[in-house]
Amino acid sequence: MTIVECISCGSEIRFSKEPSMGALVTCSDCDAQLEVVWLDPIELDWPFDEDDYDEDEDNYYDDEDY
């Protein structure tokens, strides 16, 4: 059994078998939905939602800066 800490509330999330990369898990204490982003060791992060991505926010320089 593998135990990982919830990045939202710090509670233990237990895996009875190794999850796959990209698997979504829900913390039983705070209901945060997290994604497996690394397998050795298992690491969780907030899931990436392409609908929330805005290419304009990714630009470091705006035309107004020059």
What pLDDT does residue 49 have? 73
Q: How far apart are CA 56 and CA 66, in angstroms?
A: 17
Q: 19-48: per-residue pLDDT in tens?
A: 999 999 999 999 999 999 999 999 999 998
The model's pTM is: 0.71
Q: What is the pLDDT of residues 4-16, one digit of tens each?
A: 999 999 999 999 9
Domains, the chain, with CATH or none: 2-48 (2.20.28.160)
Query: Residue 53: its pLDDT value, please?
Result: 58
Q: Which residue(s) pair with 45 in the sheet?
A: 35
In the chain, % helix, strand, coil (3-state, to 5) comes to 15, 35, 50
Q: Please, which pLDDT band fits residue 50 given cuts at 50, 70 and 90?
A: low
CA distance 2 to 6: 13
Q: How far is CA 15 from CA 8, 25, 42, in A?
A: 17, 10, 10
